[in-house]
Amino acid sequence: MIAIIKYNGGNVSSVQNALNRFGAESIITDDFELIKNADKVIFPGVGEASSTMKILKEKGLDQLIPTLKQPVLGICLGMQLMCKNNEEGNTVGMGIFDLSVKKFPAKDIVPHMGWNTISGFNSTIYSGIKEESDVYFVHSFYCELSEDTSSICDYILPFSASLQKDNFYAMQFHPEKSGEIGSRLLQNFLKL
């Protein structure tokens, strides 16, 4: 069973629909016991950082998520909120990744939206995926590069397209909208 964290954030249904295509059983929930006992947990997100973090705190999910022991996947805003802080709304995150999330400088079109290339794979989640693969992004804020960076994208500047630390995986792009590559990544996550 895969628990998809429910917190009034966008994109939850599209993640569940992607899992349904693989025949993976999932539930959208904010129930602590269901989340703690799930085989895998997905923390998707589309929205604004400070208001989303407020909801997570009200539900106590900000305390639960960092304690999870099974594989956890953060997507887009989910990835950003797993970091220590975010310039959007001066938001304090969960600190799973010791990284700051910053706004792209206005040297090109922001948000970074559409297909872009990722490379520099440094995680088993990329098993069977060719370097220089294209995935789908929609974001105005980015995670810095760090020792937890598991893939890199370059838009205005190089940034962490994905992260991994212990049982925590995170993707700035949307695997559920990234065609065959995204499907393979989700399937790789399910096999962890």
List active site positions.
Answer: 76, 174, 176
Between CA 17 and CA 44 the distance in angstroms is: 13
Q: Within the chain, how many helices (H) and strands (E) appear?
A: 6, 13
- The C-alpha R_g of the chain, in whole angstroms, comes to 15
167 secondary structure, DSSP code = T
Half-sphere exposure of 70 (CA within 13 A, CB side): 17
Please report, in angstroms and rounded to a whole number, the separation of the first and last CA atoms in the chain: 13
